[in-house]
Chain A
Amino acid sequence: MAKFILLFLKLLAILYTVQAVFEDQVGKFDWKQQYVGSVRFAHFDNQIQSSKKVLVATEKNVFAAINTRTGELFWRHVDKTGPEGNIDALLLQGQDAVMVVGDGRILRSWEVNVGGLNWEMVLDSGSFQSASLVGHQEHVKYVAVLKKAAISLHYLSNGHQKWIENLPESDSVDYQSVYSEGKGEVFVLGLVPHSHITVVVYSIDDGEILKQFTVEAPWMPDLQSSCSVIGKGMLTCVDAGSLSLNMLDLHAHSEMNQIPLQSIGLEVSSGFRPVLVSSQPNAARPPLSEFFLQIGPDQHVLLQLNKGQILTLRDFKPAMLVSFATTGEKTVAAVMSLILYINLFSAETGRRLLDTTLIFTMDPNGGKPEKLYVQAFLKKDDSVGYRVIVQTEDHQLTFIQQPGRVLWTREEALSDVVTMEMVDLPLTATQAELEGEFGKKADGLMSMVLKRLSSQLILLQAWLSHLWKLFYDARQPRSQVKNEVTIENLSRDEFNLQKMMVMVTASGKLFGIDSKTGTIVWKHYLDNVPSNAAFKLMVQRTTAHFPHPPQCTLLIKDKDTGLATLHVFNPIYGKKSHVTPPLLPQPILQSMLLPLMDQDYAKVLLLVDDQYKVSAFPSTKNVLQQLQDVASSVFFFLIDANQGRLSGYRLRTDLSTELIWEVVIPAEVQKIVTVNGKKANEHVHSQGRVMGDRSVLYKYLNPNLLALVTESTDQHQERSFVGIILIDGVTGRIIHEAVQRKARGPVHIVHSENWVVYEYWSTKSRRVEFSVIELYEGMELYNSTVFSSLDRPHAPQVLQQSYIFPSAISAMDATLTEKGITSRHLLIGLPSGGILSLPKMFLDPRRPEIVSEQSREENLIPYAPELPIRTEWFINYNQSVLRVRGIHTAPSGLESTCLVVAYGLDIYQTRVYPSKQFDVLKDDYDYMLISSVLLALFFATMISKRLAEVKLLNRAWR
């Protein structure tokens, strides 16, 4: 019976905190955007004329089918990250897409229509060189995979290996490409750099070496970048040194035939390395005898190989990108000129096809076009039509139809969001007017009254026009109502639920996204960002200081050199600010945003360089004056993860620094993984917790507390450990230290209020475990008005408890609300794609093992070792968010509501209500019921009144 009661209580507690999405809320305030990453290979599905698929394999190890009508995904397969999931090659044959994955480790074939796997084969180890479809007697039946030391041939139908052969002299010869033209032979081309080319010919049937010969080529550094097979087995290489084409007939092994480019009237731009572009539309037939030769940064020549002679078909002088496309029996060449016109040319003759001009309008805030993927199709009158996908440097894909209509764009840069901020939207002009009224100095009673009246009139007018718009929209069919989001109509709503999401991506493209609809309001491509940059985004001025525009600063730091640049911009419009940021000649070690403001209400950013000198931005006189005043209370810390050194510094009035403490964690034993402070915009509402006996347990709320996570360098599962150190950032005092033995990372940590939650992998039990540390001052508060790190003599009480979590974790954060009254939930991104909202109540070190009257009074859930995962707690229901990299939480104007953005491969935005919507009417509030009850009551009183009157009258008559 006691157990029953216990269970019942537990259930009750769970029900009490339950928070879930209702089915009718789907898509109401949440949205998801799916991405695939920067495209590496793209193939149009051309097997049927009406097909609307484009298959892409990306740098993010994703293989997906995109709908060419809408730009949305049909399906998507996400492999593991890192080199083991890396897609080396993608070949498309009919309904099958063959992929080589993980440096030639796995060969996969996909069914393109369904998106399911046909087969998967593990190949022998060896670094991957090249893969090619092999045709035989007009049918493509095999795929050849060339590795460093072996070549293997597999059946396309089931992946089984037909044969595998070792390559001769593979330790000296670098075999780089494989070629076949459907004649029962497979050519393998190898190279000894700066010496000779080796050609090995295998028989398709049994892998027997039919022929083997070498050709002198002392000038050739690399086969793949300079050679290509053209026409009927003519290996054509371009020599950048002597500026000539070298041709070798693979069937008749002869010497290389050199044709100087000047002899066919071509002039190569000085210093440019010519590049060959050829095409083999069908693996069972020889490649085209036409090819492009790029002889300058913006010059391409279409050449034809005709009976051993090279003919120039056409010279494209300003041509940025070229591409071949085949439909049916026709092959065309698409050429993009410098002024971004795309034209189609017949590949055989080089003649321009009529009415094939397509205009690509480049975004001034985007990057340059990088790749061109052409989908050609036959029109009814047998002429060739086409559509193109243009890929630009900033990973944007644009699908264009003639004569330049953009069908869709995909911002694949958003698959790699590094950091983000949510910025309040500005007030509308009328709202700003109203606000302004309170700020101004009083100037006479009469004018104040007049001003008040006029502003009320403006409000009334705005309200009326709003009503009119509602009425007008209601009359129109729903599809016609345009709800376009533009910069002009963006304004703060009454609960501040709509915000501007400023997202920074690894490619250096910045985005401003409206949080309500997910519309990209602005984008800005920074083209000089180093590839290994670290970003830090800071909001220097919010929208609250009306005449001054809001201001964000992005610190871009090269991870190798430490050199940094600042990009200052307006987060609402995306425009670069007029404020010129300081040049930073020295490597930057640390940056911090102080709560100090200059006369224009911009917060002061301090940058510490490697000479331990501090510079401020903005650095006006006013700021420097303020800095001098507060210098003695400005502390900062630096981490040197390599040496395991954590050091604390204090600012001097002359903006130099002095070392005040240093903690060394021996780097031979353990390494620092993360250092986690508290969020600056976090509010804690209650100072303590009321216990069962009505006493108060006060929280230890140290704003300077840092949580330091270390991992052992010894990875042996018996000796590895995870350490956590809580350290005061001002004094360097170690508040608490805990070690989790037989554990290893990856460690995810959330540090907030008076608690730290961290997660690690237990090697002993092979499971994920959570641990929570809570810090309390005790029953009495030392100094309740202000917290000072320098004056806290008593060490806090530390409570800790651990739990089992039945899943791995990809990211973790905690909800955040305006005033911190609402109970906290942990938001946990799972590898399955769900985002779990786990009440912090479950991670409470005071959860008792034995239920007592007091713990029940406190609403503590009895301890259970395993934390529950319930799909009802997934805030994103079936909208899986894959590879969650970070979860950003921001408070809204409503205390009950927290805005959540999860980003990774996908972006998902929603609102959560950790304690339900206690401050607004629920969205299922039944207005009909309440009004009908009121009306009914009203009529009932009327009728009963009348009846009573009649009765009284009757009685009086009696």
Chain B
Amino acid sequence: MHIERIPLLWLLLQATLVVTWGFNAEMDTGPSAGAFAQSNSDRFKIEGRAIVSGIKPQDWVSSARVLVEGEEYVGFLRTDGSFAVNDIPPGSYVVEIISPTFRFEPVRVDITSKGKMRARLVNYIKTSEVIRQPYPLQVRASGPHSYFMKRETWGWTDFLMNPMVMMMILPLLIIVLLPKVVNTNDPEMRKEMEQSMNMLNPNPELPDVSELMTKLFSGSKGSSKTGGSSKGARPAVKRR
């Protein structure tokens, strides 16, 4: 289910792309200008706040950092979770909040040579795509990092519910228990059983199931009756 949802999401993203801002023309010159503006005069700061819901900032800020474009610029988090990375020349940067416990999505921040800021989603494949994010940045943790794989645990229920085991155990139970439950020595019962056996197999001359199947697959069109039975069998297979 999840897998099929991804392309759908993609479509949605692209749909939003159509209704993006008329900011593009100006922005495309922004980063290229940034490469030259190494002079000390035009330096800006990226501001924002990182939020981990349900946890006090004091408990996690000391192990967190803000990295701008790898380790090119480094910022630290205040005790309330807000941050400001100073001294950044105009350009386009990926801002990440790094914490060993919580996962934050990176954001791309564009700074024009005039100091105009905007934040957008990071897309490495379509680099010019703009999906606006709030600025000053509001970065919410999307939960703790999952570092570990789950061990395959062994439980009785898992073992018993295994279809192979079920297939083995059920016939075994029938073979062992049925003769005990049904008293075979009783002549009446024996008679009844014989009758029911005949019911199951009313005509001993009829081909048995395996032969039927071979006939079916060897190409000769079976009767409508066999077709129906095969139809009935298929959903059963799928269900398993």
Q: Which residues of A contact B (CB under 8 A)?
A: 3-4, 7-8, 11, 18, 20-24, 74-75, 77-81, 84-85, 102, 105-106, 108, 111, 114-120, 122, 125, 716-717, 763, 765-767, 804, 806-810, 831-833, 865-866, 871-872, 874, 877-880, 883, 924, 926, 929
B123-147 interface mask toward A, CB cutoff 8 Å, 1 = contact, 0 = none? Answer: 0110100000000000000000111
Complex Cα distance, B106 from A831, in Å, reads 14
Known A119-B78, A765-B127; further 6 A-B contacts with Cβ < 8 A = A18-B149, A80-B74, A117-B76, A122-B43, A865-B125, A883-B71
**Interchain CB contact under 8 A, A866 and B125:** yes
Most B CB within 10 A of own CB, among A114, A119, A125, A804: A114
From residue B140, how far is it (CB to closest CB) to chain A in Å?
18
| Interface residue B35 (Cβ < 8 Å from any Cβ of A) | yes
Known: A4-B3, A872-B146. A80 touches B79 (CB 8 A): no
Known: A80-B74, A832-B98. A806 touches B124 (CB 8 A): yes
| Interface residue B62 (Cβ < 8 Å from any Cβ of A) | yes
Q: From A119, A716, A871, A924, give the contact of B147 (CB < 8 A).
A: A871
Complex Cα distance, B77 from A23, in Å, reads 29
The residues of A that contact B106 with a CB separation of less than 8 Å are 806
**Interchain CB contact under 8 A, A926 and B32:** no
**Interchain CB contact under 8 A, A22 and B71:** no
Q: Which residues 58-101 of B have a CB within 8 angstroms of A? A: 58, 61-63, 65, 67, 69-74, 76-79, 83-84, 86-87, 92, 96, 98, 100-101
**Interchain CB contact under 8 A, A79 and B45:** no
**Interchain CB contact under 8 A, A23 and B148:** yes
B1-38 interface mask toward A, CB cutoff 8 Å, 1 = contact, 0 = none? Answer: 00110110000000000000000000000011001000
From residue B192, how far is it (CB to closest CB) to chain A in Å?
26
The residues of B that contact A879 with a CB separation of less than 8 Å are 100
The residues of B that contact A78 with a CB separation of less than 8 Å are 65, 74
The chain A residue sitting closest to B56, CB to CB, is A114
The residues of B that contact A833 with a CB separation of less than 8 Å are 98, 100
The residues of B that contact A810 with a CB separation of less than 8 Å are 70-71
**Interchain CB contact under 8 A, B31 and A116:** no
**Interchain CB contact under 8 A, A871 and B145:** yes
From residue B203, how far is it (CB to closest CB) to chain A in Å?
37
10 residue pairs from A and B, CB less than 8 Å apart? A77-B76, A80-B71, A80-B74, A102-B87, A114-B61, A116-B58, A116-B76, A117-B77, A831-B67, A874-B147
B145-156 interface mask toward A, CB cutoff 8 Å, 1 = contact, 0 = none? Answer: 111111110100
The chain A residue sitting closest to B125, CB to CB, is A865
The residues of A that contact B127 with a CB separation of less than 8 Å are 765-767
Known: A11-B3, A80-B72, A804-B124. A117 touches B78 (CB 8 A): yes
**Interchain CB contact under 8 A, A871 and B103:** yes
The residues of A that contact B62 with a CB separation of less than 8 Å are 74-75, 77, 114-116
Q: From A8, A80, A102, give the contact of B3 (CB < 8 A).
A: A8
The residues of A that contact B45 with a CB separation of less than 8 Å are 122
The residues of A that contact B71 with a CB separation of less than 8 Å are 80-81, 808, 810, 831, 883
The residues of B that contact A807 with a CB separation of less than 8 Å are 70
The residues of B that contact A24 with a CB separation of less than 8 Å are 151
**Interchain CB contact under 8 A, A804 and B154:** no
From residue A39, how far is it (CB to closest CB) to chain B in Å?
20
Q: From B31, B150, B154, give the contact of A766 (CB < 8 A).
A: B31
The chain B residue sitting closest to A874, CB to CB, is B147
**Interchain CB contact under 8 A, A877 and B148:** yes
**Interchain CB contact under 8 A, A116 and B74:** no
Complex Cα distance, B77 from A118, in Å, reads 9
Q: Which residues of B contact A (CB under 8 A)?
A: 3-4, 6-7, 31-32, 35, 40, 43, 45, 57-58, 61-63, 65, 67, 69-74, 76-79, 83-84, 86-87, 92, 96, 98, 100-101, 103, 106, 122, 124-125, 127, 145-152, 154
Complex Cα distance, B78 from A119, in Å, reads 7
The residues of B that contact A80 with a CB separation of less than 8 Å are 71-74
From residue A145, how far is it (CB to closest CB) to chain B in Å?
15
From residue B110, how far is it (CB to closest CB) to chain A in Å?
10
Most A CB within 10 A of own CB, among B40, B79, B152: B79
Complex Cα distance, B79 from A84, in Å, reads 23
Q: From B70, B74, B79, give the contact of A118 (CB < 8 A).
A: B79
**Interchain CB contact under 8 A, A20 and B96:** no
Most A CB within 10 A of own CB, among B63, B70, B78, B149: B70
Complex Cα distance, B83 from A883, in Å, reads 22
Question: What are the 8 A-B residue pairs with the smallest beta carbon separation, nearest first?
Answer: A808-B70, A115-B62, A116-B79, A877-B147, A75-B62, A878-B100, A20-B149, A23-B148
Complex Cα distance, B4 from A878, in Å, reads 32
The chain B residue sitting closest to A111, CB to CB, is B79
The chain B residue sitting closest to A10, CB to CB, is B3
Complex Cα distance, B149 from A494, in Å, reads 28
The residues of B that contact A804 with a CB separation of less than 8 Å are 124-125
From residue B100, how far is it (CB to closest CB) to chain A in Å?
4
The residues of A that contact B148 with a CB separation of less than 8 Å are 20-23, 872, 877
The residues of A that contact B6 with a CB separation of less than 8 Å are 7
Known: A120-B86, A717-B35. A3 touches B7 (CB 8 A): yes
The residues of B that contact A877 with a CB separation of less than 8 Å are 147-148
The chain A residue sitting closest to B80, CB to CB, is A116
The chain B residue sitting closest to A875, CB to CB, is B147
Known: A4-B4, A24-B151, A85-B74. A832 touches B146 (CB 8 A): no
The residues of B that contact A75 with a CB separation of less than 8 Å are 62-63
Complex Cα distance, B177 from A333, in Å, reads 93
The residues of A that contact B40 with a CB separation of less than 8 Å are 125
The residues of B that contact A924 with a CB separation of less than 8 Å are 151-152
The residues of B that contact A763 with a CB separation of less than 8 Å are 35
The residues of B that contact A929 with a CB separation of less than 8 Å are 154
**Interchain CB contact under 8 A, A116 and B149:** no
The residues of B that contact A74 with a CB separation of less than 8 Å are 62
Complex Cα distance, B74 from A701, in Å, reads 43
Most B CB within 10 A of own CB, among A77, A116, A125, A878: A116
Known: A23-B148, A106-B86. A117 touches B79 (CB 8 A): yes
Complex Cα distance, B105 from A807, in Å, reads 12
**Interchain CB contact under 8 A, B98 and A866:** no
Q: From B4, B86, B151, B154, give the contact of A22 (CB < 8 A).
A: B151
The chain A residue sitting closest to B43, CB to CB, is A122
The residues of A that contact B69 with a CB separation of less than 8 Å are 808
Q: From B7, B74, B98, give the contact of A79 (CB < 8 A).
A: B74
The residues of A that contact B67 with a CB separation of less than 8 Å are 831-832
Complex Cα distance, B92 from A569, in Å, reads 51
The residues of B that contact A880 with a CB separation of less than 8 Å are 100
From residue A881, how far is it (CB to closest CB) to chain B in Å?
11
From residue A748, how far is it (CB to closest CB) to chain B in Å?
12
Complex Cα distance, B4 from A108, in Å, reads 49
Most B CB within 10 A of own CB, among A80, A804, A874: A80
Complex Cα distance, B149 from A874, in Å, reads 11
Complex Cα distance, B6 from A3, in Å, reads 11
**Interchain CB contact under 8 A, B96 and A832:** yes
Complex Cα distance, B73 from A833, in Å, reads 15
The residues of B that contact A717 with a CB separation of less than 8 Å are 32, 35
Complex Cα distance, B71 from A22, in Å, reads 29
Complex Cα distance, B148 from A88, in Å, reads 41
Complex Cα distance, B87 from A359, in Å, reads 48
Q: From B31, B61, B125, B154, give the contact of A115 (CB < 8 A).
A: B61
The chain A residue sitting closest to B108, CB to CB, is A766
The chain A residue sitting closest to B3, CB to CB, is A7
Complex Cα distance, B76 from A111, in Å, reads 12
The chain A residue sitting closest to B61, CB to CB, is A116
The residues of B that contact A122 with a CB separation of less than 8 Å are 43, 45, 86-87
The chain B residue sitting closest to A926, CB to CB, is B154
